[in-house]
């Protein structure tokens, strides 16, 4: 009997081992670009084998056939609705990264923000390193997994700003409440640009909200600690209006805060409304022309007589040809690959550059104008 058992085992065990080497299984792959689910369906993967895949240099990279990368690439090969168009190999990590995907409808060349999730979990390794099991569900989508929304893009010192933390629902293309998340107000670390200085942090409540109160004027980046504070939203904290100011001065000052809210940061103002009404944020609104920039500068010129010395320095700077040539060269260098200035846009950019180059006054009013000028320069560079 023992001999018979050994004979059967010698035949059966190798059969099972061979069968396992050539086994295939099915996983579900979903590819999403915003509200368009461009692919959804079963994909067959093969265990214990390798597949060659070409990176963006044309070099072949050997990847496990049952990896998340090959599952998505197989979906790409079987679908005419999307195509991986830029596959980058990072030698430091020995791993491939999907940088760009071309979407047919809506037509889009989407780059640099693709995420993948397996069974509701974000793996901490590259797609080519993650080995799938039978029945796994993959979501491969474009966008951020989490975000923060500000009720206002600016506030006075010691005044609360409401922040909401949200998590992306990639199944339904919706944003949901993110509770218990640490939200931080940071500033750039001069010694390490990759590790910002955390000035203040607050945990979001059960509804995803947190109140920030910052006592020092300046510019802050508001982001989530779990994402290393990236991406972040900018918050400008201003000195309060001095006590004893005339009603006219108070009105003028508050009008300038409104300029920041309405003219400089329309997208964040829309996001603030979304926080209050629990609606998706509106798409970023851009300046339609340089007329709005001109209008804002006219507001500055029409300010109180106490700003006359500032305006005089501003006009002198505009007439300084060396200063203008330096600013023009700087602007051309920074934007060489992004845009071509025409004469009208260049003069507007130089004017804005002249404003921001001036050292701000120590009063709250002068700091406010410096911020307005900075926003003007930023917008002009991106028109």
For residue range 141-183, list pLDDT tens digits in order. Answer: 999 999 999 999 999 999 999 999 999 999 999 999 999 999 9
pLDDT band at 323 (very low <50, low <70, confident <90, very high): very low
Q: Parallel, antiparallel, or unpaired: how do β-strands 233-238 and 154-156 relate? A: parallel
Question: In this predicted structure, what is the pLDDT of residue 3?
Answer: 53
Is the separation of the CB atoms in 323 and 264 below 8 Å? no
Whole-prediction pTM value?
0.62
Whether the per-residue pLDDT at 18 is higher than 50: the answer is no
Question: In this predicted structure, what is the pLDDT of residue 297?
Answer: 43
Predicted confidence (pLDDT) per residue in 346-362, tens digit: 444 444 444 444 444 34
Rounded Cα–Cα distance for residues 213 and 11 (Å): 74
Backbone angles phi, psi at 78, to 5 degrees: -95, -5
Q: C-alpha distances in angstroms, 45 versus 40, 68, 137?
A: 16, 9, 13
**Arithmetic mean of pLDDT, 335-342:** 44
Burial 96-135 (b: 16+ CB within 10 A, else e): bbbbbbbbeeeebebeeebbbbbeeeeeeebbbbbebeee
pLDDT band at 268 (very low <50, low <70, confident <90, very high): very low
**Arithmetic mean of pLDDT, 111-128:** 97
Question: In this predicted structure, what is the pLDDT of residue 321?
Answer: 45
Question: Contacts for 129-135 with beta carbons within 8 Å, 24 or more apart?
Answer: 129/67, 129/95, 130/67, 130/68, 130/69, 131/64, 131/66, 131/67, 132/27, 132/45, 132/66, 132/67, 132/68, 132/71, 133/25, 133/27, 134/25, 134/26, 134/27, 135/25, 135/26, 135/27
SS3 228: coil
Strand partners, 60: 54
Question: In this predicted structure, what is the pLDDT of residue 358?
Answer: 42
**Arithmetic mean of pLDDT, 369-378:** 51
Question: In this predicted structure, what is the pLDDT of residue 258?
Answer: 53
Question: In this predicted structure, what is the pLDDT of residue 133?
Answer: 97
**Arithmetic mean of pLDDT, 317-343:** 47
Name the token pair of 362. 């120590």
Whether the per-residue pLDDT at 263 is higher than 60: the answer is no
Question: In this predicted structure, what is the pLDDT of residue 286?
Answer: 36
Backbone angles phi, psi at 125, to 5 degrees: -130, 170
Question: In this predicted structure, what is the pLDDT of residue 368?
Answer: 52
- CB neighbours of 252 closer than 8 A, spacing ≥ 6? 303, 304
Question: In this predicted structure, what is the pLDDT of residue 172?
Answer: 97
Question: In this predicted structure, what is the pLDDT of residue 240?
Answer: 85
Question: In this predicted structure, what is the pLDDT of residue 255?
Answer: 57
Choice among 50-54, 234-238, 313-317 with the minimum mean pLDDT: 313-317
Domains in the chain, start-ordered, CATH in brackets? 21-142 (2.170.130.30), 286-383 (no CATH)
Whether the per-residue pLDDT at 365 is higher than 80: the answer is no
pLDDT band at 364 (very low <50, low <70, confident <90, very high): very low
Whether the per-residue pLDDT at 69 is higher than 80: the answer is yes
Rounded Cα–Cα distance for residues 162 and 156 (Å): 13
**Arithmetic mean of pLDDT, 297-315:** 44
Whether the per-residue pLDDT at 253 is higher than 80: the answer is no
Burial 3-12 (b: 16+ CB within 10 A, else e): eeeeeeeeee
């Amino acid at each position: 009997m023992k001999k018979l058992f050994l004979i059967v085992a010698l035949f059966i065990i190798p059969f099972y081992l061979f069968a396992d080497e050539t086994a295939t299984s099915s996983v579900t792959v979903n590819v999403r670009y915003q509200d368009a689910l461009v692919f959804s369906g079963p994909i067959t993967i093969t265990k214990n084998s390798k597949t060659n895949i070409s990176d963006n240099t044309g070099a072949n990279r050997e990847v496990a056939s049952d990896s998340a990368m090959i599952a998505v690439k197989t979906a790409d090969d079987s679908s005419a609705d999307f195509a991986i168009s830029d596959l980058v190999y990072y030698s430091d990590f020995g791993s491939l990264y999907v940088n760009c995907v071309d979407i047919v409808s809506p037509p889009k060349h989407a780059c640099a923000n693709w995420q993948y999730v397996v069974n509701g979990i974000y793996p901490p390794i590259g797609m080519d390193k993650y080995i799938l099991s039978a029945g796994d569900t993959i979501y491969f989508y474009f966008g951020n997994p989490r975000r923060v929304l500000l009720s206002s893009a600016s506030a006075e010192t010691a005044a609360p700003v409401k922040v909401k933390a949200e998590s992306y629902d990639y199944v339904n293309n919706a944003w949901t409440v993110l509770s218990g998340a640490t939200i931080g107000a940071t500033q750039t670390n001069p010694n390490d640009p990759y590790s910002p200085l955390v000035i203040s942090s607050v945990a979001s409540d059960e509804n995803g909200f947190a109140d920030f109160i910052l006592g020092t004027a300046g510019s802050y980046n508001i982001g989530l600690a779990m994402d290393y504070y990236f991406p972040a939203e900018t918050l400008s904290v201003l000195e309060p209006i001095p006590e004893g100011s005339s009603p006219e001065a108070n009105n003028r000052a508050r009008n300038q805060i409104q300029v920041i809210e309405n003219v400089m940061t329309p997208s964040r103002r829309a996001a603030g409304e979304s926080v209050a009404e629990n609606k998706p944020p509106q798409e970023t609104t851009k300046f339609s022309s340089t007329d709005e920039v001109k209008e804002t500068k006219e507001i500055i010129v029409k300010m109180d007589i106490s700003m006359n010395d500032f305006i005089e320095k501003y006009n002198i700077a505009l007439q300084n040809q060396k200063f203008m040539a330096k600013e023009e060269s700087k602007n051309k260098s920074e934007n060489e690959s992004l845009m071509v200035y025409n004469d009208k846009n260049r003069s507007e950019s130089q004017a804005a550059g002249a404003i921001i180059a001036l050292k701000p006054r120590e009063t709250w009013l002068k700091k406010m104008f410096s911020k307005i000028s900075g926003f003007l320069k930023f917008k002009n560079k991106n028109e």
